Structure 1
Amino acid sequence: MLQTYVDAWLASVRDTIALLEELDDAAWSTPTDLPGWTVADVAAHLAHLEAVTAGHVVDEAPTTASAGGIASVYTEAGVESRRGLTREQVLDELRRSVDVRAERLGGALPDDPTARAEHTPAGVGWTWDTMLRNRTVDVWCHEQDVRRAVDRPGNLDSAGAHVTTHTFAAAMPFVLGKKVGATAGTSVLWDLTGPIALQVGATVGDDGRARPGVPDSPTATLTLTSDAFAVLAAGRRRPGAVEVAVSGDTDLAHRVLEQMAVTF
């Protein structure tokens, strides 16, 4: 999977750079779905994390992040420190960092995907598998943030889209069992209609833990596009802002929709 992640990350980040290069000043100032962040801020965030993972810069701010995630103060500091830079300066940092990482990762990937990765954002204790997967998800989600903001849809069936969709799909049992706290025997089917057609299911066991698997007779079914699924799972928009068809236990379905946002 490491090569899959690298290929998907590189394709997505190259496409994002190409898109950013085409935008004018007005487009760079366009608000995105991320509160308080414009397209320029998304570009700055990508430049920050790619520079860190390339080993070009040290972290701009202390962080309380653990092995499980990155504190928001860290990502905000990376954006804030670049607010005085020009568009070309941000893009140049992003390009150079991506080139360095692409060359390094193209040379030889780690033999052990469970080994601790180097140059992780905020120094979190991610393995190589987690690190490369998370960078793919982050880059593709931010590519889509920019595309939605400037009304330039695309790459909804790309390699990055597939990695991201399957990554979010793997988190849905956690959503149902832990975040929603559904009772034993409760099951949910997320029926993704495309561009990435996929059925994602989870059922709560007697121990209160939900496990993956498409149920024969789900308690509730959510039918939506894979794009809408990613928007909700990434926490970009509230459930009412995307189109979802619900059947079965509607109360359960709406509780699930309210809790679908997950972080990596």
Structure 2
Amino acid sequence: MTVADVIVDDLKAESEALDALVDRLPADQWTTPTPAPGWTIAHQIGHLLWTDRVALLSITDEAAFAALVDSASDVINTFVDDAAEETAALPPAQLLAQWRSTRQALHTALRAVPDGRKLLWFGPPMSAPSMATARLMETWAHGLDVADALGVEVAPSDRLKSIAHLGVRTRDFAFMLHGLTPPAEPFRVELTAPDGGLWAWGPDDAAQRVRGAALDFCCLVTQRRPRAELDVVADGPEAQKWLTIAQAFAGPPGAGR
């Protein structure tokens, strides 16, 4: 089993967990507001449908994907919301069916990407495992919005490890996004996994350190919870600054919750 296969398996499981939340949802509940301003449950699923569709396009038709990126350059500040608005207008049964078929096709395509191939994206090109991780992060984060809207508490799983890894890997991206020079030295990040184990990144003797619960760290880097509510702390000024700007997703700095 390849690295991509393992992460795609997690992506599939995360998608199915969210699917179970909305599978039998009455049509009128699809318009329930979520914590994302202006976005209903339909917008959340619609966004995942659109992004899965675009990721699939990157794998299967690079020329068409490049044309899409060019067309988005004129509406860079609104095209994500516009796409969510368009897909959210679909009848719920049709929206759900399209998301299911699209994500299944994407998962199959990700498993078939040859080693070494870089997939085009809105930022730097990425490998299939990185693309799968990004889709896992987004599916989990938007699924959390849906769960919040429905008043459902979702139990954390070991699938968070890939999301936490992405959060660690995007440290420099977050600094640059805010016009700051990334720290020269690696940080030590220690997170308590859902099963009580330890997930760690960086050298043991790093001066800048972050520690806390894996679930809370993932909420921090996806900006799903206010930092004050999270069990994540930092030692060192650069690590403390990172916690105020951490962002694992592409696009401009988010406003947070």
TM above 0.5: yes
- Alignment partner of 1:88 is 2:93: yes
> Under a length normalisation based on structure 1, what TM-score does the superposition of the two structures give?
0.71
Residue type of the partner of 1:255? K
SS in 2 for 1:215: coil
Q: Is the 8 A contact 2:33 2:40 kept in 1?
A: yes
Q: 1:76 to 1:175 in 2, by over 3 A?
A: closer
Deviation at 1:193, TM superposition (A): 2.6
Q: Which of these residues, 95, 108, 113, is aligned with residue 110 of structure 1?
A: 113
Shift of 1:42: 0.5
Q: Which residues of 2 match residues 123-142 of structure 1 at below 5 A?
A: 125-142=125-142
**Is 2:45–2:88's contact at 8 Å kept on the other side of the alignment?**
no
Report the CA distance shift for 1:124/1:215 in structure 2 as closer, same or farther (over 3 A). Answer: closer
Aligned match for 1:260, one of 231, 246, 257? 246
* Selected match of 1:226 from 185, 210, 214: 214
Q: 1:77 aligns with which of 68, 78, 82?
A: 82
Paired residues of 1:74 and 1:122 also in contact (CA < 8 A): no
Give 1:90 shift.
Answer: 0.9
Can you list the C-alpha shifts for 1:238-257, whole angstroms capped at 9, x where unaligned? 322x23364755x6664332
For residues 171 and 205 of structure 2, the distance between their equivalents in structure 1, rounded to whole angstroms, comes to: 13
Is the CA contact 1:46–1:139 (under 8 Å) kept in the aligned structure 2?
yes
* C-alpha distance in structure 2 between counterparts of 1:183 and 1:51, whole Å: 36
Relative distance call for 1:155 and 1:102 in structure 2 (3 A) is farther
**Equivalents in 2 of 1:23, 1:124: separation in Å?**
37
Secondary structure of residue in 1 paired with 2:35? coil
Of the structure 1 ranges 130-139 and 53-62, higher mean CA displacement relative to structure 2 is found in 53-62
Q: What TM-score does the superposition give when structure 2 sets the normalisation length? A: 0.73
Unaligned runs of 5+ in 2: 251-257
How much does 1:150 deviate?
A: 2.0
Inter-partner Cα distance in structure 1 for 2:188 and 2:123: 36
Residue aligned with 1:152, SS: coil
Higher CA-based Rg? 1
On the 8 A contact 2:156/2:194 being kept in 1, the answer is yes
Q: Is the 8 A contact 1:115 1:127 kept in 2?
A: yes
1:99 equivalent in alignment to 2:86: no
- The alpha carbon displacement at 1:54 in A equals 4.0
Tell me how far apart the structure 1 counterparts of residues 247 and 234 of structure 2 sit (CA, whole Å): 21
Which residue matches 2:254? none
Give the deviation of 1:52 after TM superposition: 3.2
What residue in structure 2 maps to residue 213 of structure 1? 203
Q: CA deviation at 1:214?
A: 3.2
Q: CA deviation at 1:232?
A: 1.0
* Distance in structure 2 (CA, Å) of the matches to 1:97 and 1:184: 41
Q: What are the ranges of 5 or more consecutive residues in structure 1 without an aligned counterpart?
A: 66-70, 202-211
Question: Could you say if the C-alpha distance between residues 174 and 85 of structure 1 is closer, same or farther in structure 2, counting changes exceeding 3 Å?
Answer: closer
User: Which residue of structure 2 lines up, in the alignment, with residue 151 of structure 1?
Assistant: 151
How do 1:230-245 residues align onto structure 2 when only pairs under 5 Å count? 230-240=218-228, 242-244=229-231
**What is the CA-CA distance between 1:156 and the residue it aligns to?**
1.5
Q: Is it true that 1:15 corresponds to 2:2 in the alignment?
A: no
- Separation in 2 of the partners of 1:247 and 1:135? 28
Contact 2:158 2:193 in 1 (8 A): no
Return the offset for 1:226: 1.2
Matches within 5 A, 1:12-51: 12-25=14-27, 27-51=29-53
Over the aligned positions, Cα root-mean-square deviation in angstroms equals 3.7
- Over 3 Å counting, the alpha-carbon distance change for 1:124 and 1:88 in structure 2 is farther
Distance 1:78 1:124 in 2: 22
Q: How far off its partner does 1:3 sit?
A: 0.9
Q: Distance in 2 between matches of 1:60 and 1:83?
A: 21
The structure richer in helix per residue is 2
- Give the secondary-structure state (helix, strand or coil) at the position aligned to 2:224: coil
